[in-house]
Amino acid sequence: MVLLSLTASHHELDLDALERLSTGSMSVGRTVVGTCRPVQGTVVISTCNRFELYLDVDAPLDGDTVRHATRHVAELVAASSGVTADVAADSFTVRTGTEVAEHLFAVAAGLDSMVVGEREIAGQVKRALAESRADGTTSKTLELLFQTASRTSKQVGRSTTLGAAGRSLVSVGLDLAGESLRPYPVARAVIIGTGAYAGASVAALRARGCDDVRVYSQSGRAADFAASHAIGAVGQDQESLVEALGDADLVVSCSGARGRRPGAAADTVPGAEASLAYVLDAASVARARDRAAARAGDEPESDALVILDLALHRDVDPSVADVEGVLLYDLASLTTHAPATERAVVDQARAMVQGAASRFEETRLGRAADAAVIALLDEAEREVAVRVDDALARLAGELVPHGQVPTDTDRDEVARSVRRRVHAALHDRIVAVRATALAEARAAEAAVVAGAERSLRAVRVAD
């Protein structure tokens, strides 16, 4: 088995390219497992700043199977996202072996996030595995990989100050918005969406003293979300949203509805056409601003409306920024305001991640090493049997003149003594054999995947 990951994130792509690539991504995992026989399992992570596929591939040592799998995945991603196969192929970074575990563990720990140390990604990694289980696309190896990633994330959180300040895109956005808003205890907020970011937004707003919070959802989930979070709900129709915006100081939009297929587990709009529309367009915001101005009456001007668009697939039409009295911040602008993290803390966390990845790989590749060790132990047992026979023969020879023969106790003591000496001398050989077997397993796996990235880059599909 070979672990393979194809990853695209904000490090390699701008957010526009990442948005195009991940459109329709939720169905890719099921399709890969269903149509590519060597792929035994897959888990897909699709968040606001990354789109990653983790594959468990049953591959022979010639690597053809892995190259076929990577080519096939690129074509499926292209078909589901609407980009060309060339674009899909060129967007991915291919990793294998220790690199797969080390990358995922770093992602889960928040080391690869737009805001280094953010903790929301740990929950997203857990949900990715849960969704894979629900789809029936996970495997034993991927289960172990993702569960170990979650444990490593918790260990990093407990043992370092990474993420101790609660940094996240939500907190960065609210800090930035706070520079232009009235004080949070008297501010009025509307949240668009009912997913994980919406829940985090409610908590972050409350932490800042903001209690006037309402939620809007095109999918009809607002009432349930509002009840579970003790906030207000906005009606499902667009006119209700406009009315709420006319009375708001802050909008946090995080539904991700534009980038989801109908039926996906997110705050989605029924119908494929609707899912491609912006949740919040310039016309609606302009009408809301007119109502805010009317309410302001004789005041010189109404307060500014700050909009945070936390959705990768842009809930908010970028032209909203041109509406007078509106400040719009999207993911790209929030990233530039993300706080720096101390180098020593990051280095400490990376060292923990690297150690965990190495241990995971030793466990995963240990089957080959264990086979070599078992063979060595079998050889040792044969040596023990010969030595025990020799020792008992010598003991019998010593006892014959005295008219005695070795007893069962004598035999047991001789066997224990011989086995103890043989195994003591065997320790260094076991360590060396295991290390050699692990190195050979890694080298064999590297050979399997050596041509995969070149093959992926070379994908060409006729129009």
* Residues labelled catalytic: 48
- Please check whether residue 18 is in contact with residue 312, taking contact to mean a CB–CB distance below 8 angstroms: yes
Cα–Cα distance between 371 and 353 in angstroms, integer?
A: 28
Cα–Cα distance between 51 and 321 in angstroms, integer?
A: 27
Is 197 part of any known ligand binding site?
yes
Is 297 part of any known ligand binding site?
no
> Dihedrals φ, ψ of 132, to 5°?
-65, -40
**CA dihedral sign, ordered 384, 389, 394, 396:** positive
- Please check whether residue 42 is in contact with residue 53, taking contact to mean a CB–CB distance below 8 angstroms: yes
> Could you tell me the CA-to-CA distances from 375 to 368, 380, 430 in Å, in that order?
11, 9, 10
Is 301 part of any known ligand binding site?
no
Cα–Cα distance between 169 and 410 in angstroms, integer?
A: 73
Residue of 34, 41, 47 lying closest to 5 (CA atoms):
41
Tokens of 165: 């300040």
Is 167 part of any known ligand binding site?
no
Cα–Cα distance between 176 and 182 in angstroms, integer?
A: 12
Is 363 part of any known ligand binding site?
no
Q: Which helix (H) or strand (E) holds 233?
A: strand 232-233
> Could you tell me the CA-to-CA distances from 311 to 4, 39, 330, 378 in Å, in that order?
28, 31, 8, 59
Instruction: Enumerate residues 6+ apart whose C-beta is below 8 A from 82.
Output: 20, 23, 24
Helix (H, G, I), strand (E, B) or coil at 343: helix
Residue 405, CB-side half-sphere exposure with 13 Å CA sphere: 1
208, amino acid identity: R
Is 120 part of any known ligand binding site?
yes
> Dihedrals φ, ψ of 119, to 5°?
-100, -10
- Please check whether residue 112 is in contact with residue 103, taking contact to mean a CB–CB distance below 8 angstroms: yes
Tokens of 125: 């990694």
Helix (H, G, I), strand (E, B) or coil at 272: helix
Is 47 part of any known ligand binding site?
yes
Is 65 part of any known ligand binding site?
no
Is 36 part of any known ligand binding site?
no
Is 136 part of any known ligand binding site?
no
Is 50 part of any known ligand binding site?
yes
Tokens of 140: 């034993």
Is 194 part of any known ligand binding site?
yes
Compute how many other C-beta atoms are within 10 angstroms of the C-beta atom of residue 43.
27
Is 196 part of any known ligand binding site?
yes
Annotated binding site for substrate: 47-50, 113, 118-120, 124
Annotated binding site for NADP(+): 193-198
Annotated binding site: 47-50, 113, 118-120, 124, 193-198
